[in-house]
Each structure stands twice: as C-alpha cells, then as structure tokens.
C-alpha cells in the first residue's frame, strides 16, 4: 500500500519540531473551530493538509461524521479524497460555515491578510485565486493559518496577486499601473522560470483564460502615496478596474488566525470595539483608552496567561478554551479620578464651543476650484461619482494643450535626467525616473490616442506599445544594473518615444 495513504495523525507523537508544531496547530483548529455538522471550505498548503489529516483521524474515532467539505483548489480536493473526507460543490452549498486557508502575511491589528503569493521559489505558484475568493466570500467564519510568527506584521507589505482576463490584458495592466503609479510596479507571473514585468517568455495562462499580475509594492501597501490608507480602499481600487477577476487581499470581518510558533500555536481573534468606543471616540481618547488600543485588548480571566507575538500581546492556544469567544474590554478607574476627568472634559468642550461662537465666519468662493475637481481628490463622500473623477484623472485628461505640455516635459526628462543617471550608473535614480515618466506618458498618450479616429488610433496604439515594450526592457536592465545593455536600450527608448510623439501628438 502507498505509504502516503496509510499515514495517520498523532498530535502528541514524536517527530521533527516542524511536524509536531503543524500537528498541534491542526489539532487546535479541528477541536476549537470545527463543529460536528460544519460545512467546511478547504484551502491548500502544508498547514491546511495537516488540518485535513487531523480531521480524518477524528472521523476514524467516530467524530465529525456529518461534516461536508468543499475544496477551494485541486490540491485540496486530492488531499481530502485521500483522507476520505466527504466532498461537495459550492453550487450545492451557497453558505459555508467555516473556511481555513493558509495565508502569506497577516496584519495583527485587524487580521487583514494576503494569500496566493509566488513564495520566491524556483517554480512559480499558480493558485486558483478566483475559486478561493469565492469560498472566502460565502464563508461565515475564516480561519487564517500562518506557518511562522514573522508573517504577522504591523502593516502588510510585498505584493498582491491579481487575476485578470487574458483578453486585452495589457489595457487592464496599464489601468492597474496608473492606479498605483509611484506606489508599486506591475509584473505578470510566468508559467515557469524567472519573471520580468511581462511574464518572461512563457507567461502563466489559466484554464479559464486568465493571467496573474503581481502588484509589487516598494514598501508597505499604500495608495496615492498614503501608507495609512485602509486595506478596504486598496481592495476597492483594484476591484473597480475593468478586467480584474479576483485578488489575494482578504479584508473582512469574522476572521480568526492561528499561528504556528515554537512555544505552541497562537490564536488571534478580531475584537469589536465597545458601544462607548464606537459612539464617543473623542471621550475615550481623553479619559479612558484609545479606540485603537481597545480593538487590540482582549479580556483575560485570572487563570489565563499572556504571550507576546513580535511585541503584541495575544492569547496562548493552551488557554484559549478558558477565554470567552465574545469578550469585552474592562477599564478601571477610581471614582474621584472619573469625576475629575468627566468635569475636565465638559469644561474643555464648553470652552471650545464659546471660542467657536466668537470667531467670525470666513466664507470663500471655491466654485472655480471645484469645477477643476480639486476637492474631489480628497473627499470620498460622493460615492456615485466614478473613481477616475474622484481621483482627478478625468479632469487631467480634459485639457489637450496641458496633456501635450506634460508629454514634452517627460520627453525632455528622459533625454536629460534619465540619460545622465544611466551613464553615471545611478541605478535607483534611473529606475525611479524611468517609471515616473513612463507612467505619465502612458496616461497622456492614451488621452491623445482617444481623440483620434479609428484607423489612426490603431497605428498610434502600435507605436505606444513599441515604446512601452522598450521601456520594460530598459527597466529590467536597470534592475540588473547592466550598464552595457542599459546604455543601448535608453537610445532605443528615446528613438521610439520620438517616433510615437511625432505621430500621436502632431
């Protein structure tokens, strides 16, 4: 008999430390999250496989006989079938009780996570992100599995994988690149071998006709240069782009995380703020505890212990059963301190009200500014407006003379600043200058191309595409710090741009 088919799980058996850690984590997930009749979504990965092994071992003991399993990947389906877990389809179960999924990185503050990354191995990873996201969306509860505490961070960084339609994929990639201009670069994932921005010689194409793009952030995840932007806004910015099928950024409620650690698995839970924190954040900031701290604090009973995960207190898996799932935050203060605090707060608010009433009202006519869309960039209240209008992209395209002026400036900077950086081998400066000007030129050339008739537009698109292909090649040479190839390619980029401008901006 195949040895793989005969393996069993003993979560207390001897073995290497990683195996024992994974089995302990899997046992915790099975015992504390899965119910006897749960409908489960199955992710894939080493930890997910360990959970399926433990679940199969429990079923051999007569437990969990009424569960139903819906695999999110072909790998998960094979693993579940080997262990004899009952399988079904999402079409038969539109709601899933619990899904467990192995993630690449997790934010400790709100348990937002990323899955589906390449992983840095020699063989590119091709996860079926649309199928996995579909199961995530219909699951009441999500358990994120993390194989190392270092992957629990203060702010997500790295890349977000995005599935896009293969038809006209370049237009979708350009839209994504424009949206994250200055914050990230866009690479297409290859089917094998090493990658480059266009996916190498053999870019990945799924059976459904989809490519995987990687939004590679230079630092932490950000949008419009803002590193404090919410993950929800980043996810919405990706989803609004036509051609996007799915992505690997999970932003939702109802998430728990289980982290494999040397001292034993650690459990992180989302904790909702109290009603007082939701209604009176200013009051709490002044007198009690900040809402951010309130979200992070978990009520502990007298017998429980605290462990630290990279500086943040979390609950130990060993004492998790003793802690209620729905918990509140206790804030203690003496009666005298409370009276003094409340009195000081009311006096402070009263003085602010008097000061405000004494100030003269300054009325400014901002109608002309609003016509140019200036305030729409900063105000996200007009949800009925297209995102491009709120970001000022439509307004920037409204003036053809300004567009041509920007094109001339970009051309000049490529001929002078970029050329100088390459010759001096200032690689970082050269890379930033090239990407800045390429992004601006792509946007402005698209604006001018849209003004042309259909026959002329096709020829102009070919010229723009030739220019951008040469930009990709130069960018790769700069990343490799290859002075010989970079000096050759910059001349080709300049020549291609001159040809494109002569035809498109004429």
Domains detected in the chain: 273-299+330-356 (no CATH), 396-504 (1.20.120.290)
Q: What is the pLDDT of residues 37-47, one digit of tens each?
A: 999 999 988 89
- The alpha-carbon radius of gyration of the chain (Å, integer) is 27
CA distances (Å), origin 327, targets 98, 110, 189, 294, 434:
21, 16, 43, 12, 52
Q: What is the pLDDT of residues 225-281, one digit of tens each?
A: 888 999 999 999 999 999 999 999 999 999 999 999 888 899 998 865 544 444 444
The per-residue pLDDT for 171 is: 87
CA–CA separation, 106 vs 112, rounded Å?
6
Are the C-beta atoms of 155 and 231 separated by less than 8 Å?
no
The per-residue pLDDT for 163 is: 93
Residue 107: CB partners within 8 Å, gap ≥ 6? Answer: 113, 152, 153, 154, 155, 156, 231
The per-residue pLDDT for 326 is: 34
CA–CA separation, 174 vs 45, rounded Å?
32
User: pTM of whole model > 0.75?
Assistant: no
Mean pLDDT (whole number) for 118-131: 72
Mean pLDDT (whole number) for 309-321: 36
pLDDT at 455 over 50: yes
Evaluated on CA atoms 170, 176, 182, 186, the torsion sign reads: negative
pLDDT band at 293 (very low <50, low <70, confident <90, very high): very low
The per-residue pLDDT for 245 is: 92
> Poorest-confidence range of 53-62, 366-375, 488-497?
366-375
CB atoms within 10 A of CB 17: 8
| Coil, strand or helix at 53 | helix
Are the C-beta atoms of 317 and 264 separated by less than 8 Å?
yes
CA distances (Å), origin 37, targets 33, 69, 92:
12, 10, 15
pLDDT band at 154 (very low <50, low <70, confident <90, very high): very high
pLDDT at 296 over 70: no
Vertex 378 angle, CA 373 and 380, to 5°: 95
pLDDT band at 348 (very low <50, low <70, confident <90, very high): low
pLDDT band at 291 (very low <50, low <70, confident <90, very high): very low
Mean pLDDT (whole number) for 470-485: 92
CA–CA separation, 167 vs 200, rounded Å?
18
The per-residue pLDDT for 308 is: 33
The per-residue pLDDT for 294 is: 35
The per-residue pLDDT for 63 is: 92
Evaluated on CA atoms 216, 218, 223, 227, the torsion sign reads: positive
Half-sphere exposure of 100 (CA within 13 A, CB side): 27
Q: Above pLDDT 90, what percent of the chain?
A: 42
Tokens 């191995």 locate to: 121
């Amino acid at each position: 008999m195949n040895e793989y088919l005969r393996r069993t799980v003993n979560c207390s058996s001897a073995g290497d430390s990683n195996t024992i850690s994974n089995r302990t984590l899997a046992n915790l997930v099975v015992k504390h999250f899965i119910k006897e009749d749960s409908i489960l979504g199955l992710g894939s990965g080493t930890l997910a496989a360990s959970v399926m092994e433990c679940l199969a071992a429990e079923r051999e003991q007569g437990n969990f006989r009424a569960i139903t399993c819906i695999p999110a990947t072909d790998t998960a389906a094979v693993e579940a079938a080997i262990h004899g877990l009952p399988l079904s389809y999402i079409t038969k179960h539109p709601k899933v009780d619990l899904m467990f999924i192995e993630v690449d990185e997790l934010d400790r503050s709100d348990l937002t996570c990323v899955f589906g990354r390449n992983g840095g191995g020699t063989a590119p990873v091709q996860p079926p992100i649309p199928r996995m996201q579909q199961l995530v969306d219909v699951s009441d509860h999500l358990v994120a599995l993390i194989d190392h505490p270092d992957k629990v961070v203060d702010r997500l960084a790295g890349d977000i994988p995005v599935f896009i339609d293969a038809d006209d994929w370049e237009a979708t990639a350009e839209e994504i690149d424009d949206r994250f201009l200055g914050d990230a670069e866009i690479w297409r994932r290859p089917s094998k071998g090493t990658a480059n921005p266009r996916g190498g010689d053999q870019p990945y194409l799924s059976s459904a006709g989809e490519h995987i793009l990687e939004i590679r952030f230079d630092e932490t995840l950000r949008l419009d240069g803002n590193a404090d932007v919410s993950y929800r806004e980043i996810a919405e910015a990706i989803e609004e782009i036509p051609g996007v099928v799915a992505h690997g950024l999970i932003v939702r409620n109802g998430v728990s995380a289980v982290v494999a650690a040397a001292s034993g698995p650690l459990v992180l839970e989302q904790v909702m703020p109290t009603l007082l924190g939701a209604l009176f954040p200013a009051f709490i900031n002044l007198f009690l505890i900040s809402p951010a701290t309130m979200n992070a604090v978990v009520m502990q009973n007298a017998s429980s212990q605290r462990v630290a995960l990279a500086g943040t207190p979390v609950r130990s898996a060993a004492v998790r059963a003793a802690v209620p799932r729905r918990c509140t935050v206790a804030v203690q203060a003496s009666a005298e301190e409370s009276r003094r605090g409340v009195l000081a707060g009311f006096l402070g608010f009263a003085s602010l009200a008097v000061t405000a009433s004494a100030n003269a009202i300054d009325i400014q006519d901002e109608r002309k500014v609003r016509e140019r869309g200036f305030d729409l960039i900063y105000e996200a209240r007009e949800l009925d407006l297209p995102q491009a209008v709120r970001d000022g992209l439509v307004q920037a395209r409204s003036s053809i003379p300004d567009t041509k002026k920007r094109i001339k400036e970009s051309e000049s900077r490529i001929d002078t600043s970029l050329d100088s950086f390459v010759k001096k081998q200032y690689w970082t400066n050269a890379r930033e200058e090239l990407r800045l000007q390429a992004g601006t030129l792509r946007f402005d050339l698209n604006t001018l191309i849209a003004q042309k008739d259909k026959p002329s537009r096709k020829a102009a698109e070919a010229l723009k595409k030739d220019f951008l292909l040469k930009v990709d090649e130069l960018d790769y040479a700069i990343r490799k710090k290859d002075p010989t190839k970079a000096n050759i390619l910059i001349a080709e980029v300049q020549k291609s741009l001159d040809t494109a401008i002569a035809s498109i901006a004429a």
